[in-house]
C-alpha cells in the first residue's frame, strides 16, 4: 500500500511518524474521507471546505490547495482508476514536546492515501441500529481524529449485533457514531440542524439537496427519542454509508421503530444518489 506522508510517496511499511506527533499523543488533528466513483472524486470541494473549516477552528495552519494534485495521484498510486473508493486525509498539529498548549512552532503532519470501497449495493440493505447516549464533546462539527467516544459507542452496537448507533443528547437525536440520521414522517424528511452537536455531513448536504430538487419537503429540526415511534422511515447517510435504510431502532432492548421494507422516500433518494454518482460518469 502506498501512502503520501509529509510530501513523499512511500510504501506504508516505510512511512514513519514520530512518537511525539501530537496526533498520536493528543489526538490533536483532523481527518477527512472523500469518495470517488469510477476514479472520479464526488463533492471534493465540500469535503476540502469542511477540512479547512476544522483546521481554522483549531488553529492548524496548513495550505489546503496543495493537496489537490496529491489526491488525484492517490487514486493512481492505489491502482484505483476506474474503481470506487475513498481518499483518507489526516492533518495533525505535528511534532512537539508534550505540552498541552499549542507549540509556537510545529509543522503539520499530513497523511493521504486512497483505499477501495464497495459503494454499490447499499440500496439493497436495511440495518438495525442501537439508541445510545451521545457523550461526545460539544464540538462535533470538528472532524477530529479523537474518536474514542465514537468507537466505544459503535463497539457497543456492533458487539450486540447492530450496524450503527442513533445517538441522543438529553433525549434529542443528533446523528450516528459515523453517519448522519434522517427520519421521514408523512412524506416530510427531518434531520438535526447543523451546529456544534453534529458533523456537517457532506452526504447529509447532498441528500438535502436531492430532497429539494425532487420537491420532497425537508425540515432541519431535531427529533426526540419519544418521537421515534411516530416516524415512517429512518435512514443513515455518509460517505461510505451512502443512503442506508434502517430496519429497526432499538432502545433498552425494545424496538422504538420497525420497518421491514425500505421506505418510499428512502428509495427515491437512494436512486437519485445513484443517478448523481454513477449514471453520468
Residue ranges that bind ligand PLP, judged by CB under 6 A: 175, 178-180, 199, 201-204, 237-239
Q: The C-alpha cell of 38 is what? A: 469510477
Does the annotation count 143 as an active-site position? Answer: yes
- Helix, strand or coil, per DSSP, at residue 133: strand
Query: Cβ closer to ligand PLP: 132 or 180?
Result: 180
Q: CA angle, corner 277, sides to 275 and 281, nearest 5?
A: 95
Query: Cβ closer to ligand PLP: 202 or 231?
Result: 202
Nearest distance from C-beta of residue 4 to ligand PLP, angstroms:
21
Query: Cβ closer to ligand PLP: 184 or 206?
Result: 206
CB contact at 8 A, 243 and 122: yes
Nearest distance from C-beta of residue 92 to ligand PLP, angstroms:
18
Task: State the catalytic residue, choosing from 1, 44, 143, 187.
Answer: 143
Nearest distance from C-beta of residue 208 to ligand PLP, angstroms:
11
For 171-209, give the DSSP string: TEE---SSSEEEEEETTEEEEPPSSTTS---HHHHHHHH
Query: Cβ closer to ligand PLP: 85 or 94?
Result: 85
d(CA 190, CA 272) in angstroms, rounded, equals 18
Q: The C-alpha cell of 178 is what? A: 459515523
**What does DSSP assign to residue 20?**
T
* CB neighbour list of residue 79: distance below 8 Å, 6 or more residues apart: none
- Helix, strand or coil, per DSSP, at residue 71: helix
Query: Cβ closer to ligand PLP: 203 or 266?
Result: 203
CA atoms within 13 A on the CB side of 86: 17
Nearest distance from C-beta of residue 10 to ligand PLP, angstroms:
26
Nearest distance from C-beta of residue 8 to ligand PLP, angstroms:
27
- Helix, strand or coil, per DSSP, at residue 100: coil
Which residues are bridge partners to 180 per DSSP? 237
d(CA 162, CA 140) in angstroms, rounded, equals 23
- Helix, strand or coil, per DSSP, at residue 80: coil
Q: Show which residues are catalytic.
A: 143
Amino acid at each position: 500500500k502506498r501512502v503520501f506522508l509529509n510530501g513523499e510517496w512511500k510504501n506504508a511499511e516505510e512511512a514513519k511518524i514520530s512518537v511525539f506527533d501530537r496526533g498520536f499523543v493528543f489526538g490533536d488533528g483532523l481527518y477527512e474521507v472523500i469518495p470517488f466513483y469510477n476514479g472520479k472524486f464526488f463533492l471534493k470541494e465540500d469535503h476540502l471546505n469542511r477540512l479547512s473549516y476544522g483546521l481554522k477552528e483549531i488553529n492548524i495552519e496548513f495550505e489546503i490547495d496543495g493537496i489537490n494534485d496529491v489526491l488525484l495521484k492517490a487514486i493512481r498510486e492505489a491502482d484505483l482508476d476506474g474503481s470506487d473508493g475513498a481518499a483518507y486525509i489526516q492533518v495533525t498539529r505535528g511534532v512537539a514536546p508534550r505540552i498541552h498548549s499549542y507549540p509556537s512552532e510545529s509543522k503539520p503532519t499530513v497523511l493521504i492515501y486512497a483505499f477501495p470501497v464497495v459503494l454499490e449495493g447499499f440500496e439493497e440493505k436495511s440495518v438495525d441500529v442501537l439508541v445510545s447516549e451521545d457523550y461526545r464533546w460539544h464540538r462535533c462539527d470538528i472532524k477530529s481524529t479523537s474518536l474514542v467516544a465514537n468507537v466505544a459507542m459503535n463497539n457497543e452496537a456492533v458487539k450486540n449485533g447492530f450496524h450503527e448507533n442513533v445517538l441522543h443528547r438529553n433525549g434529542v437525536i443528533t446523528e450516528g457514531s459515523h453517519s448522519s440520521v434522517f427520519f421521514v414522517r408523512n412524506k416530510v424528511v427531518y434531520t438535526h440542524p447543523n451546529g456544534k452537536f453534529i458533523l456537517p455531513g457532506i452526504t447529509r448536504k447532498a441528500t438535502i439537496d436531492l430532497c429539494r430538487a425532487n420537491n420532497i419537503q425537508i425540515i432541519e429540526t431535531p427529533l426526540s427519542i419519544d418521537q421515534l415511534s411516530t416516524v415512517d422511515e429512518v435512514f443513515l447517510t455518509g460517505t461510505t454509508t451512502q443512503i442506508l435504510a434502517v430496519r429497526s431502532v432499538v432502545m433498552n432492548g425494545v424496538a422504538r421503530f420497525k420497518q421491514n421494507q425500505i421506505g418510499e422516500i428512502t428509495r427515491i433518494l437512494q436512486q437519485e444518489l445513484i443517478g448523481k454518482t454513477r449514471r453520468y460518469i
